[in-house]
Structure 1
Amino acid sequence: MDINLVLALFAGLILALSAFSALLQRLSLPGPVLALAFGVLIGPYATGLLRIEDFGVPTGTLLEQAARITLGMGLAGVALRLPHGYWRADARWIAVIIGAGMVLMLAVATGVLWGLLGVPFVLALLLGAIITPTDPVVTTPVVTGSLAEQRIPERVRHNLSAESGLNDGLGYLFVMLPVLLLTAPDRAWSELLTTVLLWEVLGAAVFGAVAGYLLGRLFVAVKDRGLMEESSYLGFLVPLGLFVLGAGKLLGTDAVLAVFVAAAVFGQVIPQRDEEQEDKVDDAVNRFFLLPVFVLIGLSLPLDEWARLGWTAPVVVLAAVLLRRLVALWVLRPLLRGVHDRPETAFLSWFGPIGVSALFYATLAERHTGHHEIFTWTTLAITGSVLVHGLSTAPLSAWLQKREPEHKQKQEAAA
């Protein structure tokens, strides 16, 4: 592999997307869509400039680790976007969408896949668990940038960010149940409750909270004593995500969840103004870290295997991705009336994209179970979601913006 070719291709794409970011937002062409298309363009099915095998690492290992690192950086950015006091003020949304929402989305996705795809129930449950979490990386273009700030209410952006971060980390618990049922059915439930829940999930939350608090206090202490340069915020943000990701894995915990918890606690400990001053820089860093993985996905898409599945498979998989969210949000609507109005609920029920987190869990599940078809179906779901949700971002955010004045007028009249 020529490393210079890789550098030129990947960095060239990020330069182009950065230069025209505002225009691409208005055209509803977010970075993940274009990076995915670019990966296909330079891959073996088009120009053949690069192949995933050229990296010299097994494809599953490369994609799993790339997805894990991308999630670490993406989740840190998502958590730090949330304002001080968010978790207390919006506890109702979090409790409903995580507590009942994830179970409902898993049930709907599993039902659609089992009933229409014709796969065994446990395999359908595994695929449903993989596509249940809302992806924080694909969600980023929806909730950040000048266009999102103009069109989408702050509470919608914050709630979508918080949900995508939390359910992405907790998705590990949902994925490991069918993995254990496939690999160790005799002890699946005991392993799930002891090893997975008590240590890997709850242990990750505790470790993340402690690490985030201590790093936050360190940040405040060195900043107050003039020991840190004003521009050194990123000196904490980037290493924080990578440190907790690595340390959490070494401890045998769900490191993805640990990163989100650590960044969330860190963001509540440091002064609010320090977060606000660095928002634009964070966006640039996130773009650099988050987009390359979609190029890798484009390079690795199993188009031949998709063709053998026939035309029904993409329809069923995309239906599972879309319906899981639509059904869950509207079923839970009575519990969320005081949180979001009907237009906001409609917007949130549509935008539940999947992407890097689904790739991470699919490669993890394939490694544990040996079922390669998991990767085939998941990449089909990722591609469909990235295209459908990405291309609909601008028109639906414009639609929501038009509905906001009506909502405000009704509130003023009721008052």
Structure 2
Amino acid sequence: MNLVLALFAGAIVVLSVFSTLFQRISLPGPLLALAFGVLIGPYAVDLIRIDDFGVPSGTLLEQAARATLAVGLTGVALRLPHGYWRRNIRWIAVIIGLGMIAMLAVATGILSVGLGTPFLMALLIAAIITPTDPVVTTPVVTGSMAEEKIPERVRYNLSAESGINDGLGYLFVMLPVLLMTSPSTAWQELLTKVLLWEILGAAAFGAVIGYLLGKLFVLAKDKNLMEESSYLGFVVPFGLFVLGAGKLLGTDAVLAVFIAAAVFGQVIPQRDESQEDKVDDAVNRFFLLPVFMLVGIALPISEWGQLGWAAPAVIIAAVLGRRLITVWALRPLFRNIHDRPETFFLSWFAPVGVSALFYATLAERHTGNPDIFAYATLAITASVLIHGLSSAPLSAWLKHRQPAQEQGSS
């Protein structure tokens, strides 16, 4: 335990001290944390193995991912300004209502043809990588550098989409899981238990609890019962409370967290974006980075070799293609919202990360198929490398294009 504390906390200290430098040279925290995990893991210096934690690896990774998502989704939802959902209903309807289905279809087609796996396996892996990860997205759309280079509407729309599609991803993942494990009752269970109770129940529970906690927060502030410094102390347990309570009720707790935080954020007074970024920075350092260190330690590198030489290329094609094809196909529906440079940024930057880890471990637990974890971690690693290394230059490119277009239109 002391070795784990020293290594993990020491790495977080280093990444925090040099965070601005790493961001400028396009080496984001998740990428460095993943590399550090590989370094101290069994395939390098072999200081720590995932079995050393004394918990089954699947359970450890699933629960760590759940907690990280809960706190991360809370920060994402609270970043959105008052009135955001009402003003941007068209974007949300297009990118969620049509976009998720299209991304699932594109990824399934690429994986099914490229890997030669059974259709249900391809559908399951596609469902796992379909959602844009909200936690990995946060370092790119928050902070002074993001505010300087990325337009506000792009940052907000990417945050909102990644938050809500992450929770809805549960519906997509459970479809192939049920078809694999109980094919005779799969559709009935998907419609009744998963959709009506776990999804819609989560939305209702999240909305109610978010509204009530928002009113409680406002009352406490008005009565001077709460110090300003208590905001972070309120936000972190907020996400974990909704996560635990939502799971006890048998709902999709990840979706419940985001809905609750979104409603909560609209009820409480509008806060300055810089304050929200401080919350996000704390979340990234204390929750996101350790999860990626765990992933680095647990990477099934030997199992990757058994997937075949074509697997990495096909996985990369699915991760990138699902988003590029979908966003440009849907562009006529939101061309008045985002111009071409912004559309390219949105079509490229859709990372796969903590949410994919959560759904992969959940699916492996239900099906008992270890190939799910191998494919998912390959997608996570590829996405962290590709999207991580390209985030800074692509953000700079977007900043360069925006002034030129504005001058041209004027």
Q: What's the CA shift for 1:119?
A: 0.3
Aligned to 1:38: 36
Whether 2:2 is the aligned partner of 1:4: answer yes
Distance 2:266 2:284 in 1: 20
* Conservation of the 8 A alpha-carbon contact between 1:267 and 1:275: no
Higher mean C-alpha deviation, range 227-236 or range 254-263: 227-236
Letter paired with 1:113: L
Distance 1:285 1:303 in 2: 28
Distance 1:391 1:268 in 2: 34
Distance 1:15 1:8 in 2: 10
Q: Share of identical aligned residues, percent?
A: 76
Distance 1:242 1:207 in 2: 14
Q: What's the CA shift for 1:282?
A: 3.9
* Conservation of the 8 A alpha-carbon contact between 2:78 and 2:276: no
Deviations 1:271-318 (A, max 9, x none): 013665453244224321111000000000011111222321000011
* Conservation of the 8 A alpha-carbon contact between 2:138 and 2:280: no
Aligned to 1:251: 249
Whether 2:306 is the aligned partner of 1:318: answer no
Aligned to 2:106: 108
Residues 9-28 of structure 1 mapped to structure 2, 5 A cutoff: 9-28=7-26
Distance 2:347 2:199 in 1: 27
Name stretches of at least 5 consecutive residues in structure 1 with no aligned partner. none
Letter paired with 1:368: H
Query: Match of 1:394, SS?
Result: helix
Aligned to 2:46: 48
Q: What's the CA shift for 1:407?
A: 2.3
Letter paired with 1:369: T
Aligned to 1:121: 119
* Conservation of the 8 A alpha-carbon contact between 1:80 and 1:275: no
Distance 2:288 2:94 in 1: 29
Letter paired with 2:89: A
| Runs of 4+ in structure 1 over 6 Å off | none
Aligned to 1:382: 380
Distance 2:22 2:197 in 1: 43
Letter paired with 1:133: P
Whether 2:97 is the aligned partner of 1:99: answer yes
Query: Match of 1:291, SS?
Result: helix
Letter paired with 1:147: M
* Conservation of the 8 A alpha-carbon contact between 2:143 and 2:277: no
Distance 1:113 1:133 in 2: 16
How does the TM-score come out when normalised to structure 1?
Answer: 0.97
Letter paired with 1:177: L
Name stretches of at least 5 consecutive residues in structure 2 with no aligned partner. none
Distance 2:272 2:316 in 1: 40
Which of the residues 158, 161, 167 maps onto 2:159?
Answer: 161
Q: What's the CA shift for 1:218?
A: 0.3
Higher mean C-alpha deviation, range 279-288 or range 375-384: 279-288
* Conservation of the 8 A alpha-carbon contact between 2:203 and 2:259: yes
Distance 1:277 1:297 in 2: 30
How does the TM-score come out when normalised to structure 2?
Answer: 0.98
Query: Match of 2:80, SS?
Result: coil
Whether 2:83 is the aligned partner of 1:85: answer yes
* Conservation of the 8 A alpha-carbon contact between 1:77 and 1:286: no
Aligned to 1:353: 351
Which of the residues 391, 402, 405 maps onto 2:403?
Answer: 405
Aligned to 1:176: 174
* Conservation of the 8 A alpha-carbon contact between 1:74 and 1:137: yes
Residues 260-339 of structure 1 mapped to structure 2, 5 A cutoff: 260-273=258-271, 277-339=275-337
Aligned to 1:391: 389
What number of residue pairs does the alignment pair up? Answer: 410
Distance 2:150 2:204 in 1: 33
| Compared CA separation, residues 31 and 277, structure 1 to 2 (3 A) | closer
* Conservation of the 8 A alpha-carbon contact between 1:109 and 1:128: yes
Higher mean C-alpha deviation, range 229-238 or range 369-378: 229-238
* Conservation of the 8 A alpha-carbon contact between 1:233 and 1:278: no
Letter paired with 2:99: G
Aligned to 2:363: 365
| Compared CA separation, residues 129 and 260, structure 1 to 2 (3 A) | same
Distance 2:297 2:113 in 1: 31
Distance 1:8 1:235 in 2: 25
Letter paired with 1:38: F
Letter paired with 2:368: G
Letter paired with 1:383: T
Aligned to 1:236: 234
Aligned to 1:138: 136
